[in-house]
Each structure stands twice: as C-alpha cells, then as structure tokens.
Structure 1
Amino acid sequence: MRRLGSWFVLLCFASISCAQTPMWIWNSNSAADKETVYARKEFKLAGPVKEATLYATADNHISATFNGKPVIQHDDWASWGKANVTGLIRDKDALVAVTGKNDSGAAAMLVKLEVVYKDGKKQTFVSDASWTVSKEAAPGWDRTDFAADWKKATVLGKLGMQPWGNVGTATVAAAPGEATPVENIKSLDGFVVERLYSVPLGEEGSWVSMTVDPKGRLICSDQYGGLFRVTPGADADSTKIEKLSVPIGDAQGLLCAYDALYVSVNGGAAQGSGFYKVTDTNGDDQYDKVELLKKFNGGGEHGPHAIRLGPDGMLYVIAGNHTDIPQGSEVGAPHKNWAEDLLLPRNPDGNGHATGRMAPAGWIARTDKDGKQWQLLCAGFRNPYDIAFNADGELFTYDADMEWDTGAPWYRPTRVNHAVSAAEFGWRYGTGKWPDYYVDSVGSVVDIGLGSPTGIEMGLGAKFPAKYQTALYINDWTYGVIYAVHMQPQGATYTATFEKFITGRPLPVTDICVNPKDGALYFTIGGRKTQSGLYRVTYNGPESTAPVATTEGEEGRAARALRRELEKLHTTNPEGALGKIWPSLASNDRAIRYAARVALENQDLASWKNKALAETNVNATIQALTALCRTGDKADQAAVLAKLNTLPYDQMSEEQILDALRVYQLAYIRLGGKQNDAANEAVIALLNPRFPGDSEKVNRELLNLLVYLEAPGIVEKGMKQLFAGQTQQEQMFYAFVLRNAEKGWNMDQRKAYFSWMNLAESKYRGGNSFKKFVMQIRNDASQKLAKSDLAELKEIMEGAQTEEVANLETTRQFIHNWQVDDLVDMLPQVESGRNFEKGRIAFEAAQCTKCHRYAGQGGGTGPDLTGVGNRFAPLYVLEAMVVPSKVVSDQYVNTIFQTDSGDILVGRIISETDDAYQIRTGPFAKELTVVKKDEVEGMKHSPQSEMPNGLLNTLTQEEILDLIAYLRCGGNADDAAFKK
C-alpha cells in the first residue's frame, strides 16, 4: 500500500505552526457537475527572501504559476503539490495564480506560500476569502498588471476538511472521528452499502486486512496494532466488535483455514515480519497460541501481504518487491533461473526508490499448512497486495504502478495479472521495467490505470446477479474505487473489462471479502493511521441472485487443461516429457507457448538442444531458442544467432518479430555478450535495413539491438525517429537509448539531441521523477563527449541556447485507461458547449488521422469518418473508440492465415491474384506482405479490429467529449455542439 501516506501528509499540515491556516476556496457561483475555476492573489513580501515554498492542491487537478512561471502540476487532492519558488521572487512581489479542475464536481483549491526571510523571520500566505476567482480565464490573468473585476472566493473550511463537505447535496462531511458516511458512497444500481462500524482511531487503529472465520465472523487487523473480531449484525447497532487478546497484529494478510488463523505480519508484532499460525488450544473460542512458521526478510509498504487457500490445499502468500523470497523457496520451484536480463544500462529512479532491489522482485509462493515446504510460484511484481482464485482455480492479483514514472516510456499502469506457474512479470527497478510483449514475460489480463492496489476478492458465494458473482473485485486506495473486473477466457488465459462498482469520497479502501455465511461483500477503509470503517454490500435489485455454476464454462477449458499439464513439467522431468512439450512450443496461444518453454528449460539440455537448432516452425524455433539462451552457455551463442538470422521475417507477425528480437537480446545478455564480430555483423546486416519500420514496438527493440551492436548510421536514423515521435514517451525512449551511442554523431545532431533535453525538462510533464530521468539521460550522454565537444555544447547543455527540435503538441502522457462506463453518463454534454479546436487537436493526438480521412484530410486505411454524425449516436462513437473490436465492418475485417509450416499471419487482404494474397499486417504498414495460396493451410476472419486499443488513454475526459463532438460535426465549426 505504497500511497497510504497521502492523507497523513494533508492532515498533518494542520499542526504546522504558522501565521495563518489555509482554507479551501471555490468559485462563489459554482455548483457545476464538473468545472474549471481560476483563482489569483498578489502578496507583498516584507523583505529580502532566503527561501520561499509554494504548496497547492485541488479537487482534483491543479496547476499553479508563481510570478507568471508554471511551477506546479498536481492531480491528487489528498496531498500537496510543492515547488521551491525562491528564484522567482521579483523585489517584493509575489503573484500566485492557480487553475483548479474537477472531473466530477465543483473545483475547490487550497494554497499556501511559506516564506523565510533573510533575517530569519517567517511568514505564511494562504488561500482565503481575499482571493479572487472566475470560471473563465481572461488574457493576462496570471500577470501583476491584471485589473479585471473578479469575484471574491467562497471559503469552504480549514485545512484537513474535505473540500466537498459543504458543496451541493450529494455528499455529507463526516463528523470528527467517524468513517465516511454512506451518503458519500455511490454503488451500481441495485446494490446497497451499509456502514457497520466506524473504527475509533485512537483506540482500535486503522484496519487494513480482513478474513472470514468458519462462523461467518470477520477477523480484522489494525495496520500498526492488534486483531479485532467482528460479528456482523442486522445493522451497525447490533454489530459486535471484540478486541482479541492474542499477542500478534500488524497484519497485512489474514486467513482462517485448517482450524487456525494464518497471519502475515508486516511490522514489529510478535517476532516481526513473517508467516504465523495462530490457534485456539483449549476450545474457548479465543486464540491463545502464536507460532512463527517462516521468518520474512522485508517489510513496510512493499512488505509481505495477503494469504489465500488454494484449490490444491496449499497456502499462497504474496509480497511486495522489498521482501526477499522465503528462504529455500527457489529449490525445485516453478520460478527459477531469473536475472535482470537488460541489454542496455538502466538508470535508477530519480528519487532513489527501490534502487538495488533485484529480481525476482515481488513474488507469490505457496506452502503447506504447517509452513514447512515453500515453493516460489511466480515473481516480477512491483507491489501487489492481495490474490484471489476464480471458480476454475486460476490465480489473479492486482499489481501497483510507479506513479513517479508517468510521462516516461517505462511507465506501467496498475494491472490485473494472471499468476500462472513460473510467470515472470518483468518489474525491474528504475528504467529497467520490461514491456509486456517480451517473450520471456507474462503480460497483463487488463491494464487499469493510475492507482494504488489493495485488497481483491472474487465474487464467488456472493448473493449478487450472475455477472457479479463471477467478477473480480479490486480495491484502489488512492482514488477510492472498488472496480468489478469481468473476465473472458482467451485461450489458456483471460482478457477482461472493468467498471466502477463502488466509489466514495473519501474511500481509501484497504481490504475486501465475501462472507459465505450471508452472501454479502464486506470492505474496510483506512490505512496509515487514517479514519477506518467497515462496510457491507448487498443486492436488492430485480435480478436473480441464484448461485451460478461453480466452475468456468467450456470456453478455454481445454486450453487451460493443456497449460496445466505442461505446468506439471515445470518441476518434473519424466520420461517422454519432450513429446508432450514440443508440439506446444508451436502453439498460437501465447500462454501455452510460455508454459511449454518453461517446461523445456526444466528438461535435460542435451536431450533437446540439437532439436531446437533444427526446428523449422517459427513459433517453436523462437520458444526453443529462448529456452536455449536461458539454459545454455557462451558456446551456444553463434548457433543461436545464426538460427535467428534464418527466420522468415517478411512473413512473420508483429508478435513473432518482437519475440525474435527479444531472443537476440537474450543471446547477448545470457550467452556472453559481443564475443564474435562476424556473427554481430551478420545480425547488423539483417536488422539494420529494417529500422525504422511500421511498428513502434518493433522499432524500439530494433533500436536497442542496433545501438548495442553499434550499427552504422543508427544515430542518424534514431534521431529522425526521436523528432518524429508522436508522444513525449516515444521521443524520450529514443533519447534514452541513444545516450548509449558513442560513435556516429555530428555536431548538429549533438546540438539537437541536447536541445531536446531542454525541451523535455521545460515543457514536458510527468511524475515526480520525470525531470530527474531527463537529467540522468543528459548526464549519461555528456560523459561520452570529448572535452572539445563539451565546450562547444556548453550553452545548450546549460539551457542558455536551444534549437527547435520537436512538435510541442506531443506533451502527452498516460491519463487513464478509459472504459465506456467512465464516460457514458457524460455523453449528453457533447451536444453543446464543446470546443471545436480542442476536438481537432484530440483527433490528431489519438492518431486518428493516420488511418482515417475526415473533412478531406487524413489516411485511407480505415473508413472515412466525415459522416459519422449523420449515422451514429454519441454512444456508438464512444464504443467504437474504446472497444474497437465490438463491431468490425466486413470491409475492414482482418484475416488469420495459417501456413503449411505452422506459421500464423494476421492482416487485411488488400488484393488477390490467382496464386497469392497481398495483405497489410498493421494499420500503419507501408508495405504489403505476400502470402502464397499454395502455402495456406487454413484461413478465417479475425474477431479483432485492426484499430489498436487504448488510443484515448492520453486524453482527458473533456478532450474525449470534445473529440466526439468534433467527429459528429462533419468538420463544421459552427455546429450546435460548439454553441454555449
């Protein structure tokens, strides 16, 4: 629970000794469902300033300028945005101008300026009723000579009070010492939320973990204290709470099983972090015996977490990346042979977070009921808090992002992961995190977005409608959301969609469970010594709550069964194992291929190495060579590289090319580096002409390899890609990799390269470490310069001179993994008050122009969108962008080809002759791929749209609404949608 501290930061500021207390302010005419508010205040300082610090926050986005200079961009109402503004002081003038935006209500703001004068005196200026506000910005509003007649701000309350407490009628401010009232909590139709208990903070702490005992009672733990037992009643008054006297607590994992309470201690309780068994030895219904079964080395927010009982009778434990794996758990385990596996040097996090925490990182292990035998199941997580099994016995978790990485190419959003045997999820510290598509990694089931994962639970046993009995419920602490994730089988694994099930303000959800005794869903809020509460969710709508089947349906069952058979070979090597493994290496199912490759690595290398080098099927070759790289030695490198060079790249899918490029990397990482010049030159001769290509993912992996191999001309080509990047993440990737190139630069390229650093540092936006990452790139690159070059580049490197190097409209970063449910209620707002120009910009930012013509301009690979508004309602337009595969026109359907050699190609048939098809393998492909008819074993239509998913994820809610209005207007800027 890495961000449980943000509430604490906000509340503690109230105790700082200062001249004035900040007040929440808002626009006096404001009561909007969503809005932007501008506020300003000029201060006169008392003398020469030693240091000045500005703090600002808003519900829920704020940007602030100080004396006209942008200094703060902040998106978390529960913590301060902070900037040192000492260098911006002009004489005695201090002008603070802030913009507050709220995606779902009225915008309220909180500002504080702390000044330390050179004579040692201190002064604090704060937001209060003397500020002026407006709902519209006027020219020069952030300058000192601005003289418009703005209204005085309205004060909501002091620091520490939720800004929405006095706004509108939808929310009610919680009384001091009480958990969030249910009036502030919203659930899906038909579901009812009850508050059963408001935890006395000073006496019973803040509850972060929970389990159900055999009698249907709840065992809950204070994060920094003891255990409590809750007997749910018909209401809050009849609910019984008892403090357990057993000497253990600080639990972030609890499980009742085998007539015992298992406890995952994350802290100093009992004997410190570890796995404990707690029992009742005399039958008096009170726990009285505590046994340490396994000591854990690690703790804190990324320490040991949840425990679950598996369908195999084993106990499963999960921990964050600051916790070492249980001693001995790697012996004979599915997950083994891990390494960092980075081809090029990484940079650590700019603020030092997790630096030096190496693979295997966050992990899941399993043990017997006595905690004696441990096996490491899978690893490579950042900080997942909980795990849950579905009806078919498949295990899932919800892993954390690193929000300081936002805006950078290595940022990975929070995501649901399918925790299969031997899975590697690729978390590496700093910039080293693996992309999902690596052949030796397991991707996500679904990406969620920014957040802080805590408890998760399957809906099995809940008296809910069928859809919600099979859902996975995941808690996001930071944004106060419980999501319902709906799984769909996809081969031997799953894909998913998600929706907001419960939201609230504040609702720092910590843990969640289904009680099989009453069929209700229970959740707790709290964490980090904040106000805690216990809630119950029931259903009283019209749909049936009859229990659904206790196992998954037929779809995917055979594939999952095959995967599990292969997974048995992850720890065994019986006679005939190769006969079971080898056919699955060629599977079209990535999960099957992965399981088969891991099984192959567990067999005797001598029995299959020659077979791997003789294989002809593309998928099987790639998988077998992956295994050879991970289990062979440096003597195998030349053979692996030569075999990779024979693959038919012109006929391979993007997925296969990415897999092959990763194997090239592994051959150098694992098998001895650049040991053979002739072999390296052959690789360069094959790959260099392919860069750049049509796929951004392929281009990235090609650049990694070609920079590593010092390919001729790679700097020039890489620089062109940098400046053609469509987003700041793309540009930053090329800058990051090119910092490793020592040869092939001219001075003009050097000047442009370091000018990009100045652009990124001053204009681009990102998380807390973004600018420090840019500084690290600059420092790394500068260390490769000769002294004479350093002197010539001095002014540019110091920011005194710069060159225009990139389009500034690329300053976009991941905002949210938008779903239809996030936006459907806002669709009436596309009918009026929209902005034509912002819609046009959003159209370009979402890369729509690459494939679609609109009002006479754009690409031609997709349908012309000019007439969309005449045919489709806003909901259809939204669905087409968010879920492009929901409806695919016959004119734009892709075809899946299987060749007689077992290869799979996917693309749209552009033309056909008597003996061949010409297909486009991607929407941005510049060249067509030829598929000979006599080599086609089978073909069928693909259900997947050629249009990529996630194109809206760098847009704000307002930009998406402007985009829908823009698409529906047919290019007419005078359309009614743009009238106020």
Structure 2
Amino acid sequence: MPYRCLEWIHTTFAVMLLSFTLCLPCHPANADGLGVPTPNQFKLADGFEVDLIHEVSEGSWVSLTTDPQGRLIACDQYGGLFRIAIDDAGNANVEKLESQIQGAQGLLCAFGSLYANVNSDQIPAGVWRLTDTDGDDQYDKQEHLIELNAAGEHGPHALIVSPDGKRIVMCAGNNTHLPKQIDTSRVPRVWDEDHLLGRMPDARGHNANRLAPGGFIASFDPDGNNVELIATGFRNEYDIALNKDGELFAYDADMEWDVGTPWYRPTRINHVISGAEFGWRNGTGKWPAHYPDSFGAAVNIGPGSPTGICFGYDAKFPKKYQDALFICDWSYGNIHAVHLTEDGSTYGGTYETFATAAPLPVTDIVIRPNDGAMYFTIGGRRTQSGLYRITYTGDINEEEATGATDQGQALRELRQKLEALHVADAPANNLDFILDSLSHEDRAIRFAARIALEHVDVDQWRQRVSSIDSATARIHAVIALARHGEAADQATATKALTSIDWNELDSDQRIALLRAYGLVAMRLGQFNTDQRKTILAQLDNQFPTGDDSVDRELAQVLVYLESQTATGKIVSLMKSSPSQESQMHYAMTLRSASAGWNDKDRKTYFSWFAELQKSRGGMSFGGFIENIKNEALANVPGDIKAEIEAIIAESEKASAEPAPSRPLVKQWTVDELATLVSEHSDKPDFDRGKSVFAAATCYKCHRMGIEGGILGPDLTSAGGRFGVKDLLTSIINPSQVISDQYGATMFLTDDGEVVQGRVINMNEKNINVLTNMLDPSSLAVINRDSIEETRESKVSMMPSNLVDTFTAAEIADLIAYLRAGGRREHPIYKDAVAASNGN
C-alpha cells in the first residue's frame, strides 16, 4: 500500500529528522534538555506561570506535604526527609530533618504529628508517627504504628485526613499485603479471583502470584488503632483526595504491558465509595468496568503512571480550577485538571492538560494555603528532581459556585444511608430498605445496597431472594447470595435467575444476569444437567446480540455451559470483529471450549493467531497471543492435533508474506473532500463506515465505544463536537492542531541524532521514548546527559493522508460513522438528509 501508516511514519520521520537537524545549532550555548525542565519548556493553561523553586541535589523527591507553619516537607524515594521554607520572594531554604525515616511515599502533617507511610527496605515499612516532644522544631519521637511490607513501587502510599477530621486514610498498591490487624471492614471479606473460564498470568511473569484483593484503601485512628478496610481491587493508586462533599477519589494505574488487549484498563479516576471493589486481578483477569460487582471509573484518563493528586480548593485560581482535581502523570509528564460533575450519587467528568513538559516525572502535588500557589515535585527512580510552583497571573473574577444539585445531594444521602449499614452483622431490621434499594436506577446506590445486604447474616435473607419481584433486585441479591451462601443455596439462586425474561432486560441488566450465573457456578457449585439445559434455553439463541459488552459476557457463559451452537458463532464473531481487542477476547474465550467444534471452525480459529501476531500492543501482547494459542492447542483432541499444528504452520508461513497493497485513489485535500462528502446524497452505510475505520488502522490508536486502542484520543464523542470539515482536517492534516495531551517532543543528542516521540518512562538518566504509536513496545532509550536540546514537535504522531486509498463514497461513510459515534442506531443512518448536514 503506497500510504500504509507504518511506511508513512518511517518516510516522514526521516525527512523530519533531516530538516530538524539542519535548523539546530550543533552545540547550543544553553542546552534546555539538561537538568530539570526550565520554565520556558512548560505548556500551561492560559493565565498561569511556573517557577523553578529548587533544583534538588538532595535525592529524588517522591512525596510532599505542608506543615502547620506553611513549610513543605518532602521525602527522597531512597533517602530521608527534607523541610523547605519558602519566603515571599519564592526562595527556598532546604533543611534535612534528623530522622531515620526514608523512602516515604506518603506524608501528612496532622494531629500535632508528621505521619510517614514508608515503602523502603532500609527501615520497617508502614505507617510511622513523628512527634516533636520538646518544642525544638525537630521530630525527636518516632513510632511505628502500622506494619506493612515494602513492595517496590506498588507499596504503601498516600495519607490524608478522613472526612470527619478524626482519622487518617491511607492507600497502598497491589503488592502490599493487608495490615495484619483489620478491626473492621466495609468490604465483605469474601474476595476471590472469580473468573468463570480461568485467567492467564501476565505473559512476562509480572505479579503472577499476586491475587485478590489487590491494592486497598483503609483508615485508622491517629494512634494507629481501629484499622478499617474501605475499598479494594486497585492496581497501584498512589494518592487519594477528598472533595468538598467528603467524597473520596483515587487515581489508579494501568498495566502498560497490556495495551492492545481486551483486559487493558486505562489509568482512571475512581470514586471510592464504601465497600467498593475495583476489579484488579493479575494478567488477563482484570474485571471489566461493567461488572456489577466492580465499581468502574468516574473518568478514564488513558496511558500513564499516576502519582500525586489534590483538589485546588485553597488555590488562588479561577473558580474552575479551584474545584478541579489535579492529577499527576509521571511517565508522560502531565498535570491534568479533572473537572468532575455529578452523575446521580456518583461522578463523571472531563479533563484537560493543565501543565506539561518533557521530560516531567511529576511525583507529588499540594496547594500551599499560605500563598494559594500550587507546588509540585519531579523525580523518582533516581531521576533529576526539582520543586516547582504554579501561580495564576490573570485577574480572578468572583464566579458563582456551581455547588451540589438538590437531586445529587439527595441521592448521595441515600447512598450514605446504605453505607452506614456497611458494618459487620448489620441488623436485619433494615432488610426491606436494602432489598428495595437493589433495584434503584443509580448504579452506586445498587452497589451500596448489595454491600449492605452482604453485611447482614445470610440466614436472615437467603429465603427472600426467590420472591423479589424486580429482576434487577433479584439479580443483585443472587450475586450477594453467591458470595456468602453455601452449596445448598445453588438451586435457589439458579432458579431465581432462570425465571427472568431475557428479552425484558436492558444491556446492564443482561450483563448483571450473566455475571450472576458465573458467580453461582464458581462459588456455589456447577450446574447440573437439567439446570444447564434450562439456562441454555434462556440464553443460547440470544447470541450474538450486537451489543459488544453483552456478547463478550454471553460468549463466556455459553462456552462454560458447553453450548453446541455457540462455538461456531463465536469463531465467526472473532473473525468479523473490527478491533483486535474484541478478536482477542473471543480467542481467549474459545481456548477452553470443548463443545460445538467442526473442522472448518477449528481451521479458522487456529489460522487467526498468525494474523493477530501482526498486530501491535504492549510488552506482553505477543506473549499473551502465544499463550492463548498454546492453551487452546493443548485442548485439541489428540487424533487431530497434528493436523491443527500443520494448519498453524501454514498460516504462519502465509502471514509472513507482504500484505496486498491498497491502490492509491487520490491524494485528497480537505476542501475537495468536504465538498464531495457534503454532496454525497446516498444514505450512509454503517458497516462500510466501520470497515473503513478498521482498514485505515484507526482502531490501533483510537477507541470507538468500547473497541479500539487508547494511545490516541477517544473518538466516540468526536462527531458530536466537530463538523465534517474539522473531522476531515484532523484526518488529512493531523499536524494542523496537536493536542497537548498527545503531542510529541523532539530530542537532539550530542551525536546529532534526533528522536521524536512521547516520554513514557525514566530510570536514573535513561529516558524511554515511544516513537511509533502503532507499536507501543517500540521504544528509544536516550541518556539524559546526551541531550543537547529539546523542543515541542510540530508534527503529529498520527500519520496524514490515511484516506488516500479510499473513494469519496467510502470516506463519506467513514465521516458518518465518526459523526454517529460508532452507533448503528444513530439518526444519521435513518435520515439520509442528516448525512449532508454539519458543515
């Protein structure tokens, strides 16, 4: 193909390097690329400025807090504590504190003490309290309050004061064991892996033996007593923060090696409600956000490495930013401002890039009440550390506070009333209230109600499950029963589900029903022959539904039930799915399928692996594909295994041959296509638009709905925000406007090499740069000392002219597909006239 993405990147990159090299001095007098980023290297939100307060020579700072005198306290990842006094002119006086504490990734001044959450092998890890007992302004008393294990970078993390001001809340990553003494737990203590078809560990062995509950959040009294578990199922939430309503938020990490797989979960803002489970599991086992027993994300952010977070309430910023949740992304060098909005009793929202530079390994962030400025540190992994300040220089007009809506407040109060029942052996006199709330339209309220039910002795309510009228309430009651019941409850739970009419359920209810079946089978016992027949009669003819989320779960249940008709349908859907994520999910589902195979489907299935190996993903992507193939091959009957192995070898040989090229149609211009697309009078073809989206490799970097990559912007809502000409401009001339969030940096090294890409990782003086968005594992390593100059790239990492091999009619269908947000039911497909509007 003359304009295939990868070839275009290589060609354009070579030209770009040449032109860039020619326009730079060989040895600039002041090399911006050395040391910490200078203020002129930052891009900031309008009206803000940044100052470098201190270039750190005292280690690599990873945590930050303010003390009652307005001084900052920081901790080196591999060393001790430092106190920083800042005068009115912004000068920093750094003092090393006399303390054995080091490696603290969480600091908090509260209750007359300094608390440190230590994650180090040099001293016992866990929560320490430091107190000045003699008034000399030094912490002379040190107490180890809570013992935790040091766990690399997934260990003990942040500390904050609880909403009532009486306790301390802490968080810890997924390699941290729960405290030895948990006095109370809002999370029912019945966590398990809960994978209907089993999971596969990470293909590179990472965390292969780390099981539920994963990362956690807990609270305790100022003296370290009365530890209460609040939430579990995180991967590695580094920091936590409270909004004005006392609601808790965390910024949880992704597993970047999983990029391109269906179990990859982007970094995300979690609203941490009482008793919540967020579904982190090792390897392929991450629970999807739509599971009813996993409480999803408030805002998905994308690839990154979450570190410090804080709300801007005490900042001398415009109201919009005072109310924002500021989050730090260590790997991509961003501080984002998240603008949360009420969504029933929980929250949704949007985010913008507030400050960025490259590299900017930002580690922690605070608002200093004394001057209303934002302070943040960069560092970690022995990288060069610095302390910065961001202030607002524009006029701050008094803005009316948006505040909470009456409806949102009422729903939160209802949820909190249920959360008050998240105590061991909750009284059964609240059962009617709890059971009624299981059918509430608000997901967070349903979740809180189920957790409340699970805290009531199961003997008090197991007999009521079958008589619940609401299908939604009955499903969630069965989930609770599966988690707390006994084998004797299996028949009751199964009958309660089989009596539900599938056709009367919406998407969320169907997913909940399927999850409930899985939990009953895993926890209460496998279905007998009669039960299996009854469930198959309810579900077998429903696949596929056309709803990708439902179909993924339905496929797993049907394979588990050994459906004779589902296997061929799943193979067909695997082949026809436009995104590699969906294809991989169905391949994973089929790896252990024992029923319904024929020769044609087996050949199609095993031939697929060679094709997918051409796709790109994170470091574990290829290993996962190989492991799925090997596990599937192990389940092939012995008498045909040699034949299947021959099919695999033949398909791998065929896949090694160059793919046929698409002929060049025309080097389209924006204006030319804008006219042709507007004049295209035929009714848009959804399937062809989706096919073009896939053929142009858009799915590799962009999401549409729940399908596609995450390295580029999510395009699901793009059609609602941009007209036809804007969409065409972004496709044909992507460098015309480059979002700060997806911009690249150009690095000139002292040997004349120029590298363009996005910084995604650092270690001491080595910087890892992603140079090819189509291959997330393609990294260039640059020694920081070799960098002569850095500058913002004016060339997008997205290839241009991607549609030059498509006809005007095909492009018109692509634009319609984008405008419809990938939804077949969008009005644009019902009204041909709508296709010509939007210019």
Q: Do the structures match in fold with TM over 0.5?
A: yes
- Does residue 303 of structure 2 align to residue 407 of structure 1? no
Q: How does 1:427-506 map to 2 (within 5 A)?
A: 427-506=280-359
Compared with structure 1, are the counterparts of its residues 527 and 798 closer, same or farther at alpha carbon in structure 2 (3 Å cutoff)?
Answer: same
Compared with structure 1, are the counterparts of its residues 716 and 193 closer, same or farther at alpha carbon in structure 2 (3 Å cutoff)?
Answer: same
Q: Does the 8 A contact of 1:174 with 1:180 survive in 2? A: yes
Q: Does the 8 A contact of 2:828 with 2:835 survive in 1? A: no
Deviations 1:157-183 (A, max 9, x none): 99xxxxxx979xxxx74475x321000
Q: What is residue 768 of structure 1 aligned with on the other side?
A: 619
Cα displacement (A) at 1:767: 0.7
CA distance in 1, matches of 2:442, 2:808: 35
Compared with structure 1, are the counterparts of its residues 496 and 872 closer, same or farther at alpha carbon in structure 2 (3 Å cutoff)?
Answer: same
- Does residue 37 of structure 2 align to residue 186 of structure 1? no
Q: How does 1:333-482 map to 2 (within 5 A)?
A: 333-482=186-335
Counterpart residue identity of residue 224, structure 1:
Y
Find the residue that maps to 1:556 and give its secondary structure.
helix
Q: How does 1:948-963 map to 2 (within 5 A)?
A: none
Counterpart residue identity of residue 215, structure 1:
Q
Cα displacement (A) at 1:99: 2.2
Cα displacement (A) at 1:796: 2.8
Q: Does the 8 A contact of 2:131 with 2:142 survive in 1? A: yes
Compared with structure 1, are the counterparts of its residues 250 and 845 closer, same or farther at alpha carbon in structure 2 (3 Å cutoff)?
Answer: farther
- Does residue 773 of structure 2 align to residue 862 of structure 1? no
Find the residue that maps to 1:426 and give its secondary structure.
coil
CA distance in 2, matches of 1:314, 1:858: 47
Q: How many matched pairs?
A: 718
2:15 to 127, 134, 140: 134
CA distance in 1, matches of 2:578, 2:112: 58
- What's the TM-score, normalizing by structure 2? 0.80
CA distance in 1, matches of 2:819, 2:532: 43
Cα displacement (A) at 1:752: 1.6
Counterpart residue identity of residue 796, structure 1:
I
1:634 to 487, 491, 497: 487
CA distance in 2, matches of 1:838, 1:451: 33
Counterpart residue identity of residue 258, structure 2:
D
- Does residue 72 of structure 2 align to residue 199 of structure 1? no
Q: Does the 8 A contact of 1:335 with 1:376 survive in 2? A: no
CA distance in 2, matches of 1:846, 1:411: 32
Q: Does the 8 A contact of 2:119 with 2:149 survive in 1? A: no
Q: How does 1:637-786 map to 2 (within 5 A)?
A: 637-674=490-527, 676-761=528-613, 763-786=614-637
CA distance in 2, matches of 1:828, 1:525: 39
Deviations 1:900-923 (A, max 9, x none): xxxxxxxxxxxxxxxxxxxxxxxx
Find the residue that maps to 1:134 and give its secondary structure.
helix
Q: How does 1:146-295 map to 2 (within 5 A)?
A: 154=22, 173-174=31-32, 176=34, 178-200=35-57, 204-236=58-90, 238-269=91-122, 271-295=123-147
CA distance in 2, matches of 1:285, 1:655: 57
Identity among equivalent pairs (%): 42
- Does residue 463 of structure 2 align to residue 610 of structure 1? yes
Find the residue that maps to 2:605 and give its secondary structure.
helix
Find the residue that maps to 2:803 and give its secondary structure.
helix
- Does residue 758 of structure 2 align to residue 792 of structure 1? no
Give the number of the structure whose alpha-carbon radius of gyration is greater. Answer: 1
Compared with structure 1, are the counterparts of its residues 507 and 688 closer, same or farther at alpha carbon in structure 2 (3 Å cutoff)?
Answer: same
Q: Does the 8 A contact of 1:843 with 1:849 survive in 2? A: no
Counterpart residue identity of residue 232, structure 2:
A
Find the residue that maps to 1:300 and give its secondary structure.
coil
Compared with structure 1, are the counterparts of its residues 859 and 307 closer, same or farther at alpha carbon in structure 2 (3 Å cutoff)?
Answer: closer
Q: Does the 8 A contact of 2:184 with 2:226 survive in 1? A: no
Counterpart residue identity of residue 257, structure 1:
A
Out of 610-619 and 220-229, give the one that drifted further: 610-619
Counterpart residue identity of residue 710, structure 2:
F
Counterpart residue identity of residue 862, structure 1:
P
CA distance in 1, matches of 2:74, 2:160: 15
Cα displacement (A) at 1:424: 0.4
Cα displacement (A) at 1:561: 0.9
Report the RMSD for the aligned CA atoms in angstroms.
3.4
Q: What is residue 10 of structure 2 aligned with on the other side?
A: 99
Q: What is residue 814 of structure 1 aligned with on the other side?
A: 710
Structure (1 or 2) with the greater helix fraction = 2
Compared with structure 1, are the counterparts of its residues 607 and 482 closer, same or farther at alpha carbon in structure 2 (3 Å cutoff)?
Answer: same
Compared with structure 1, are the counterparts of its residues 862 and 696 closer, same or farther at alpha carbon in structure 2 (3 Å cutoff)?
Answer: same
CA distance in 2, matches of 1:244, 1:414: 35
Compared with structure 1, are the counterparts of its residues 847 and 473 closer, same or farther at alpha carbon in structure 2 (3 Å cutoff)?
Answer: farther
Q: Does the 8 A contact of 2:204 with 2:620 survive in 1? A: yes
Compared with structure 1, are the counterparts of its residues 555 and 157 closer, same or farther at alpha carbon in structure 2 (3 Å cutoff)?
Answer: farther
CA distance in 1, matches of 2:459, 2:728: 66
Q: Does the 8 A contact of 1:715 with 1:744 survive in 2? A: yes
Deviations 1:378-427 (A, max 9, x none): 00000110000000000000000111111111111000001111100000
Cα displacement (A) at 1:279: 0.9
Q: Does the 8 A contact of 1:335 with 1:378 survive in 2? A: no
Cα displacement (A) at 1:583: 1.8
Counterpart residue identity of residue 576, structure 2:
A
CA distance in 2, matches of 1:326, 1:290: 19
List gaps (5 residues or longer) in structure 2.
Answer: 660-690, 701-708, 734-799
CA distance in 1, matches of 2:46, 2:726: 17
Q: What is residue 598 of structure 1 aligned with on the other side?
A: 451
Counterpart residue identity of residue 184, structure 1:
Q
Deviations 1:314-368 (A, max 9, x none): 1111111010011122644444211111101211111011111111000001110
Q: Does the 8 A contact of 1:474 with 1:485 survive in 2? A: yes
Q: What is residue 115 of structure 1 aligned with on the other side?
A: none
Q: Does the 8 A contact of 2:718 with 2:819 survive in 1? A: no
Q: What is residue 144 of structure 1 aligned with on the other side?
A: none
Q: Does the 8 A contact of 2:307 with 2:363 survive in 1? A: yes
Deviations 1:63-92 (A, max 9, x none): 69xxxxxxxxxxxxxxxxxxxxxxxxxxxx
Counterpart residue identity of residue 773, structure 1:
F
Q: What is residue 837 of structure 1 aligned with on the other side?
A: 803
Counterpart residue identity of residue 579, structure 1:
D
